[in-house]
Structure 1
């Protein structure tokens, strides 16, 4: 056996509640002003929702603006579910909201908003892109299996609020058989599935476990290929999960970066994506790095690709672009050559990334940041940064 584990969490998880509120704010401010600068953090604990940070926008907003957004976000997530008693789940109408929003420092604006229409990086830092041939979407398997189970159970909870809560976690342990199989992107079977599913107090623990297993076997796309008689199911390990969500545990924006990106298969950057506008390279740099890594693998240049892009605050161009194919390259081009050619071909400035992916114009017709926060920052083909639209250039490198 050679095992690797990844996890995921639903929109109702306390940390995700915070992320979704934060990105609902980003969506709303960019709708009012595409040049808005946003860096807000959210803390949810018990019945308290605390919003703080810095904003620069061409209009004056009252605290009620942010409070209304937070309520909308929590209701869209699915709170409160009908089957739970007071004190077991969150009710957005009963929460106490505190808002501490100040104006973005002019010292940052000096470097970000340039006279030549270019955009300087909103902060220093490094971001990573990763891709693998394990799946058609070029994402690592354990993470995407955990996400798929999450989506199945979350949909069930939203459809049955009298029985299940929207706060849940999933975890998948994948058996690659050997280290060689892992290196060559060949998963063999699922060894363990771990689920924490909130539920009403009148449902017996064994009934919760039975229903969760039924849903996975019936609806998971990977069930026939990767589940077998030796797959272990560990569902609600304490036996009971009634009190849930921020009522049971605090949530903070930016804490689920591994869940949002590569599930531990690859390094993560220096900061989270949620709560930030497109000038913050923690967000835009991640999208660009993933786009490059995906192209490298899709073009057949390597079985795996890890791309690092680094920036300094106030400067548009990255200070470094580095490709590492993790010993899986086709041997027709070196990692050094790939790094140089990619850096020469694509400017990778915040403005270039923003214009290519439309990051300043989130909408229901393209993408909304708060919906991305709920699903994951990368890995879904409908995202603009998942489009393989420069594949011929990458193939020509061979």
Structure 2
């Protein structure tokens, strides 16, 4: 039976991603000054305005410093348009001190209650589901290539992959909406080769199934055309809707918020289990309660692909990995200014870097898993 799976990616100029980048840039600034800073920073962007709200427990930061971060972020994205220009946009800051009730909880354990998921699959080289992998790869390559033509920065790409016998084999259709200048008429002609070169040979959909700016024009884009908010692209940020999502957004939250840190640990564990050859697919689920250090539940599902008992994997992880909120922070070294780079093109499936960003993508645990569970 053939199946079709669809997901999307959005570019750095998408209004929601503008908001995510601003929130994480401010978070990084606080952590740079004090690694123990706690923050939940929300950003709203709309025509001629940026509003920063949320809670912070950390060093004093002047409004002028925060505004400078906001303008620098918008400038790097590429907005210097009428209605949203990095130099002239109005910025309102409504940050206040973190609630003492939350601070008490963080001091003793997890910073909130919630459910988090992590996933890995052998479908792609970076152990991500193929739809989100190719959506991000294609849009990122496309945006890197077309800036010279004056296209963007607001864009999104939706891709539908055809599966046969549970294996992706073909691109059924692609939808691209990309901002362009007035009277720009050959967008499809420009972007077609960049999309084709991003996909495996023979995967490109037919030309009639490549839909580019379906309404016929996309001149008014970014925060002028649509309000943007932090945390509205949670499926784009994770696995493209391929598996369950806990519901919590990531951007603007420090690592005491298990919405973010435990989701990173869940991906780390799932990826290492698959990398070790213990399973072809792996889903890891956590749940936490505010103020309680250890997870209230920890569950692994390998969808029948595990070659060892799942209980042995769970026991090994429980015995060797500290799954408390503080243990996760230490294991993945999350008290560093590493978050702005996560806010575009997904938090997962990226390359771990020397500055500590994407530490949850390392596969160092896979060797221990293999030795303990495959050789013994």
Q: Normalising TM by the smaller chain, what interval?
A: over 0.9
User: How big is each residue's C-alpha offset from its partner over 1:232-273, in whole Å with a ceiling of 9 and x where there is no partner?
Assistant: 201111010001000000000000010000001111113111
| Correspondence for 1:386 among 333, 341, 361 | 361
Q: Which residue of 1 aligns with 2:222?
A: 245
Q: Is residue 340 of structure 1 aligned with residue 315 of structure 2? A: yes
Q: Is residue 155 of structure 1 aligned with residue 176 of structure 2? A: no
Cα shift at 1:280:
0.5
Q: Is residue 189 of structure 1 aligned with residue 170 of structure 2? A: yes
| Correspondence for 1:113 among 92, 102, 107 | 107
Residues 157, 166 of structure 1: 8 Å contact kept: no
Shift in alpha-carbon separation, 1:370–1:157, aligned structure 2, 3 A: farther
Cα shift at 1:225:
4.0
Structure 1: distance between partners of 2:206 and 2:28: 46
Q: Is residue 316 of structure 1 aligned with residue 293 of structure 2? A: yes
User: How big is each residue's C-alpha offset from its partner over 1:45-87, in whole Å with a ceiling of 9 and x where there is no partner?
Assistant: 1111111010011x3222222221111111111112xxx6x34
Structure 1: distance between partners of 2:11 and 2:229: 14
Q: Structure 1: 5+ residue runs without aligned partners?
A: 115-119, 363-367
Instruction: Give the aligned CA root-mean-square deviation in angstroms.
Output: 1.6
Q: Is residue 65 of structure 1 aligned with residue 46 of structure 2? A: no
Cα shift at 1:216:
1.5
User: How big is each residue's C-alpha offset from its partner over 1:316-340, in whole Å with a ceiling of 9 and x where there is no partner?
Assistant: 211111001122222x31x333333
Shift in alpha-carbon separation, 1:231–1:65, aligned structure 2, 3 A: same
Q: Is residue 373 of structure 1 aligned with residue 343 of structure 2? A: yes
Q: Secondary structure in 2 aligned to 1:146? A: helix
Residues 113, 287 of structure 2: 8 Å contact kept: yes
Q: Which residue of 1 aligns with 2:50?
A: 49
Structure 2: distance between partners of 1:4 and 1:64: 46
Residues 289, 296 of structure 2: 8 Å contact kept: yes
| Correspondence for 1:397 among 366, 373, 376 | 373
User: How big is each residue's C-alpha offset from its partner over 1:140-170, in whole Å with a ceiling of 9 and x where there is no partner?
Assistant: 111111101111222134334xx21210001
Q: Which residue of 1 aligns with 2:75?
A: 75
User: How big is each residue's C-alpha offset from its partner over 1:21-43, in whole Å with a ceiling of 9 and x where there is no partner?
Assistant: 00001100000111111111011
Stretches of 4+ aligned residues off by more than 6 angstroms = none
Q: Which residue of 2 aligns with 1:294?
A: 271
Q: What count of residue pairs does the alignment treat as equivalent? A: 367
Cα shift at 1:314:
1.2
Structure 2: distance between partners of 1:14 and 1:249: 7
Structure 1: distance between partners of 2:52 and 2:234: 19
Residues 312, 373 of structure 2: 8 Å contact kept: no
Residues 193, 231 of structure 1: 8 Å contact kept: no
| Correspondence for 2:327 among 343, 352, 358 | 352
Q: Secondary structure in 1 aligned to 2:87? A: helix
Q: Which residue of 2 aligns with 1:117?
A: none
Shift in alpha-carbon separation, 1:243–1:31, aligned structure 2, 3 A: same
Q: Is residue 122 of structure 1 aligned with residue 101 of structure 2? A: no
Cα shift at 1:229:
4.5
| Correspondence for 1:216 among 186, 189, 195 | 195
Query: Larger deviation: 350-359 or 370-379?
Result: 350-359
Shift in alpha-carbon separation, 1:304–1:157, aligned structure 2, 3 A: same
User: How big is each residue's C-alpha offset from its partner over 1:170-196, in whole Å with a ceiling of 9 and x where there is no partner?
Assistant: 11100003xxx22xxx11111111100
TM-score by length of 1: 0.89
Matches within 5 A, 1:24-43: 24-43=25-44
Residues 132, 305 of structure 1: 8 Å contact kept: yes
Structure 1: distance between partners of 2:200 and 2:208: 11
Structure 2: distance between partners of 1:327 and 1:40: 40
